Amino acid sequence: MEHRENKVWFITGASRGLGRIWTEAALERGDLVAATARKTEDLSKLKDKYGDRVLTLQLDVTNAEQVKEVVTRAHSYFGRLDIVLNNAGYPLVGTIEDGNAEDIRALYETNVLGPVTVIQAALPLLREQGYGHILGTSSNLGHMALPILGYYCSSKWAFEAIYESLAMEVSQFGINVTIVEPGAYATEFGSEQIGKLFTGNEVYHDFKTKFMEGMRGMEKGNPAATPQALFKVVDAENPPLRFNLGSHNLPGLKAVYAERLATWEAWDEISRSAQ
C-alpha cells in the first residue's frame, strides 16, 4: 500500500468491543473512518466528537444490497478507502449436539458470508485505486477448536481460509490482506450468548459448568493495549497475512501444531500405504 499520512478506514462492527476501540484510536491519530454498525445511535457520540472525519453508517452485513450501497457511499464520501476492516461478528455458545440449523446458519451469515459481501463490494474500488489493505478480525480459535464454541471456531476456520485464498488472488493488484487473530480480551464480546449456555441436553451440564469456570479464570488482555500494534500492521510496507494479537496465542498455537504434526507422523506409514 502507498504510504498515506492520514488513512481512510472502513470498519464493520464499530459500535463496541475492539471495533469501537480501533475506530476511536484511528480517529485520534488523525485518520478518517467510515464506522458502521447495525444501530447508528451506537455511533452518535463519534460524530459529535470527530465531525466530518467520521462517517457513521447503519450496516447489517447480512444485507448484500445495503453492504454494496454503504461501501460505495463511504468511498465516495472520502474519495478512497485505504483499509477495509471486517470486524463484525459474534460467537455461538453450545455443544455440537445442541446446535440447531437456524442458529448455525445465522452465525455463518454474519461471520462468513457478511465479510465476503464486504470484500466483494470493496474489491472493484480498491483495484481501481491500485492499492488497499483488507483486514479481518478472526481469532486464535481460527486455528484450534474448543468445546462449547465449536460452531464459532468453525466460522473462523472458514474465515481464515477465505482470507488466505483472497491474499493470493489480489496481491497482483497491489492489495494487501491481513487476518487479525486476537486471543482472549476483556470485552463484552459474547456476553449476550451466555444465557444460551445452559440450554440443551442436560448430560452436558457439568461439562459446561467446568468449561465456564475455566473461561472465567483465563487471563484476558487489555483491549486498550491493542491499537498501536494494529497501526504497526497497517503502516507496514509488507504487512503479514496473519497477525497474533496478544501474548498468549503463539505458545498455544505451537503446542497445537506440534500435536498435529506428531499425529500425522505417527500414522504416516499407514497414510502412505493408501497412495
How far CA 249 is from CA of 6, 245, 262, in Å, comes to 31, 8, 20
| Residue from 61, 239, 246 nearest 141 by CA | 246
Q: Is 185 helix (H, G, I), strand (E, B) or coil?
A: strand
Q: Is 58 helix (H, G, I), strand (E, B) or coil?
A: strand
Task: State the cell numbers at 151.
Answer: 460452531
**What's phi and psi for 180, nearest 5 deg?**
-90, 125
Number of DSSP helices (H) and strands (E) in the chain, helices first: 10, 7
CA distance 174 to 185: 32
Secondary element (H or E) of residue 103: helix 101-108
CA distance 184 to 215: 9
Q: How far separated are the first and last CA of the chain, in Å rounded?
A: 44
Q: Could you tell me which residues come within 8 angstroms of residue 221 by beta carbon, excluding any fewer than 6 positions away? A: 182, 183, 184, 185, 186, 245, 246, 247, 248
User: What DSSP designation does 55 have?
Assistant: E
Q: Which residues have a catalytic role annotated?
A: 138, 152, 156
Task: State the cell numbers at 73.
Answer: 457511499
User: What DSSP designation does 1 have?
Assistant: -
